Amino acid sequence: MKRVVVFGGGTGLSNILRGLKRYPIGLTAIVTVADDGGSSGRLFDQYDIPPPGDIRQVMAALSDVEPLIEKMFQYRFEGTDDLKGHSLGNLMLTALTEITGDFARAVEQMGVVLNIKGKVLPAANQRITLHAELEDGSIITGESKIPLYGRKIRNVFITPQDVKPLPETADTIKKADLIVFGPGSLYTSTLPTILVNDIREAVLNSSAKKVYIGNLTTQRGETYRYTASEHVQALYDHAGEPFLDAVLVNDTEAFRRTHGISGKSEPWLVENDLQQLQMLVPEVFVQEVATIMNGNIAHKTMEVADVLMRYIERT
């Protein structure tokens, strides 16, 4: 059985995992815990636990339960009381952390309840704060605040800088056959996982093939009008060296033709500057792996999973 480790957070990662879980592989998701906005931020402040939001989304994606149970887990309370804005899954993870006394243990037990395919590991078992240095030298603290400033990001970093991952995380990375990064917000979802020193070292020393799934659109406040190669270069800059074996990018021109998009207005699709990209990564796969769902541009889950499975089988 091939062992696949996926890094990131947010809806982009969850979308990819829904495709990968259908294959007979050993699947592990290592998820960022740097979120400080919304329900996660409130629980982060009130209970001194790692924010559960990205973990919740990933667990829902990997779950194998009745659709109603998953819908309930993802349910977000409305109204005007103290529950407003909280999702039930976040509250359940918080309650389990209080009961077990350990966030990672709570995630493990919730995985049993949801009958998830594979494992979900938080990038750390404690609170992590994400900071960004902007091009003017100013420092922004807080994952949710970083995109609000609308200025180019020079780099991101975490505190505490000596945070340790779970003991099994490095071993899981070491034994992987394939390591996948993204898709998702580059600076606030994908990069925070490899800012943990022990995780970064484990990735760089791993013999697994390493693939980046390129984002479909650029993001205001983070990657506005970034090309595909600029996304990859940011990964290399924060890892300290080039480490990718392959990158999968959407066939932007084919997607525009299929969906009648002019390219003259937002959302801005990530442009494939293939010449620069091929100088950074040994293999570049260009395929129309995007679709439009509920008015949003998203990856085709099964098409992406199929590309990754074909790649791992021939390596």
pLDDT digits (tens, 9 = 90+) for 202-258: 999 999 999 999 999 999 889 998 999 999 999 999 999 999 999 999 999 999 988
Q: What does the mean pLDDT of the chain come to? A: 92
- What per-residue confidence (pLDDT) applies to 103? 93
Instruction: Establish if 298 belongs to a structural domain.
Output: yes
Q: Which residue segment(s) compose the domain that 23 sits in? A: 3-34+162-314
Residue pair 107/55 in contact (Cβ under 8 Å)? The answer is yes
Question: What is the mean predicted confidence (pLDDT) over 41-46?
Answer: 77
Question: What is the mean predicted confidence (pLDDT) over 161-174?
Answer: 93
When pLDDT is cut at 50, 70 and 90, the band that residue 149 belongs to is confident
Q: Is the pLDDT of residue 132 over 80?
A: yes
Peptide bond into 160 cis (omega under 30): yes
Beta bridge partner(s), residue 158: 130
Instruction: Establish if 98 belongs to a structural domain.
Output: no
Tell me how far apart the alpha carbons of residues 53 and 184 are, in angstroms, rounded to a whole number: 14
| Strand ranges for the chain from DSSP E | 3-8, 26-31, 119-122, 129-134, 139-141, 153-159, 178-181, 209-213, 246-250, 283-287, 290-293, 296-299
Q: Is the pLDDT of residue 309 over 80?
A: yes
Instruction: Establish if 218 belongs to a structural domain.
Output: yes
Instruction: Establish if 113 belongs to a structural domain.
Output: no
Residue pair 191/238 in contact (Cβ under 8 Å)? The answer is yes
Instruction: Establish if 107 belongs to a structural domain.
Output: no
* Size of the chain, expressed as the number of residues it contains: 315
In this prediction, what percent of the chain has a pLDDT beyond 90? 71
Instruction: Establish if 68 belongs to a structural domain.
Output: no
Domain containing 193 — which CATH number?
A: 3.40.50.10680
Place of tokens 């990657």: 223
pTM passes above 0.85: yes
Among residues 191, 192, 139, which one has the least CA distance to residue 163?
Answer: 192
pLDDT 10s digits, 22-38:
999 999 999 998 877 77
Q: How many domains does the chain have?
A: 1
Strands 178-181 and 3-8: parallel
Instruction: Establish if 276 belongs to a structural domain.
Output: yes
Tell me how far apart the alpha carbons of residues 138 and 35 are, in angstroms, rounded to a whole number: 20
pLDDT 10s digits, 69-110:
889 999 999 877 788 889 899 999 999 999 999 999 999 999
Tell me how far apart the alpha carbons of residues 308 and 306 are, in angstroms, rounded to a whole number: 5
Q: Is the pLDDT of residue 315 over 80?
A: no
Instruction: Establish if 18 belongs to a structural domain.
Output: yes
DSSP-H helix ranges across 157-196: 167-174, 191-194
